[in-house]
Amino acid sequence: MAGFHEKEARVLTKALANAGKIKQLVQLGQLNVLIRIIRGRRLFGDGTGISDPKADKFKEMVVELTVLVRIFNTGGIVRVLNWLDLQGIASKMMKLHNRFDRFLGGILEEHKAKGHVGGDKQ
């Protein structure tokens, strides 16, 4: 597992030399360490610091999720109002859920198209 961290540290160091967005790169590096442990390869970006549309889309969805979960939901307190979705939180969460499904489904389809199933090439 140390190899994953070393590779990500090298990529991150190279990217830091080329970019000024340190906080975003560190967060992306952390995500890529987790994904590399799980899948054996990076999910987003090649470490050059060039914007990755997939990474940007994923980050937008994560930010939207964190905003939505922080909103005080009156339906959560007064259960009889929950079905009304007065604040629109449930519908926004459902739309975000569908976006996550499409995004992750696309990654799975891309993985299948490359012939990887269960970590083995077919």
Which region holds residue 77: left if phi is over 0, alpha if psi is between -120 and 50, else beta?
alpha
What's the pLDDT at 122?
42
Quote the distance between the C-alpha of residue 28 and its chain's center. 9
Cα 87–chain centre separation: 26
CA dihedral 111, 112, 116, 122 (to 10 degrees): -160
Q: What is the pTM of this model?
A: 0.58
* Distance separating alpha carbons of residues 4 and 40, to the nearest angstrom: 8
pLDDT < 70 stretches in the chain: 1-2, 4, 16-25, 34-52, 116-122
Cα gap 61→2, rounded to integer Å: 30
Q: Report the pLDDT value the prediction gives residue 94, as an integer from 0 to 100.
A: 95
So what's the pLDDT on residue 117? 59
